[in-house]
Amino acid sequence: MTTASPRPVSPGAPRPVSPGEQPPLRLGTRKSPMAMIQSQHVADLITERTGRAVELVGITTFGDVSRANLAQIGGTGVFVSGLRASLLAGDIDLAVHSLKDLPVATPDGITLAAVPSRDDPRDALAARDGAKLADLPPGAKIGTGSPRRAAQLLLLRPDVRPVPVRGNADTRLGRVTSGEVDAVVLAYAGLARLGRLDAVTQVFEPEEMLPAPGQGALAVECRSDQPGLAALLARTDDAATRAAVTAERSLLAALEAGCSAPVGGYAAGTDGLRLRAEVVAADGETVLRASAGGPAAEAERLGREVAAELLRRGAGRYTAVSAGTAGRNSNGDE
């Protein structure tokens, strides 16, 4: 995805519509730089493929206002729920989310209309002086808002100290510059969207740090009572990405894992799907892994199959504490 500056959010009245012209679709988005950029990308894609104009509508959610730890207030589902409330109220026509933030259960009245082509799903380290993870001193403080990333960091280097951080990507990167932390871990896709790949000092391959289910992908939702709009939005859907994230989210649903569960899951493939998953103990001392392959058309079954194997190996002891918790990790941005 090319990085683009977000267009200004209209403060109120929509622009005048000529006779016979369809009014612009109202796309609800959080007001963070990341959310604005990815929402504008989807708006441009909709216009390119359908000819329909789209305007961004900025929405402030409870998660944006609260400074509490996300795990305590419901995970990143608090960002999603605010947009969904506006959607169900008819204040907007569609909403765009980072797909990894979506709770696995879609509420009544809302449909996942499209999953555009996925960006790079990997995680990235940003440290001072070009340092990689192996270069950091013993006891180095690494900022992350994700229990998954914290556990995986401890799996790679048991001596480091993951510390919770919130704020947008620039705020987190600033904590590295100021010396508050030695490094932060963020999603590569998010940094690419913001034009901040200059800050990346190491990219973790999935073999090192398995991404969160849905990471790098976007979700486009609309109301279920608008099948015409859903069909129009479906023209931005990417079948390969849809199949991959379906497998990953099926895994998450079967594990009943929420924002406190360090679960990684990534599916990819051309002729078929290969899903890899892992559950890591919070202290990084135990990791359970499983994988399976199959046709893309059986993505949901694939996710359940891998989850069943993980549960057979004892994953329930690490996921049960967060069963039913909405949301995933991070701060609602990649």
Residue 62 CA to residue 25 CA, distance in Å, equals 24
Residue 48 CA to residue 185 CA, distance in Å, equals 34
Helix (H) or strand (E) segment spanning residue 263:
strand 263-268
Active-site pick, 101, 123, 182, 333: 101
3-state secondary structure of 122: coil
Cβ proximity of 90 and 26 under 8 Å: no
Residue 196 CA to residue 201 CA, distance in Å, equals 11
Strands (DSSP E) contained in 120-174 are 123-127, 141-143, 161-163
Cβ proximity of 99 and 221 under 8 Å: no
Quick one: how far is CA 204 from the chain centroid? 17
3-state secondary structure of 25: strand
Cβ proximity of 121 and 216 under 8 Å: yes
**Residue 108 among the catalytic residues:** no
Quick one: how far is CA 14 from the chain centroid? 30
Tokens matching residue 157: 């280097």
Residue 301 CA to residue 305 CA, distance in Å, equals 6
Residue 275 CA to residue 185 CA, distance in Å, equals 23
Helix 239-255 to helix 299-312 angle, to the nearest 10 degrees?
30
> Who's near 323: CB < 8 A, 6+ residues apart?
256, 257, 258
What secondary structure does DSSP assign to 269-309, as a single string?
-SSSEEEEEEEE-TTSS-EEEEEEEE-GGGHHHHHHHHHHH
Residue 215 CA to residue 29 CA, distance in Å, equals 18
Residues known to be catalytic: 101
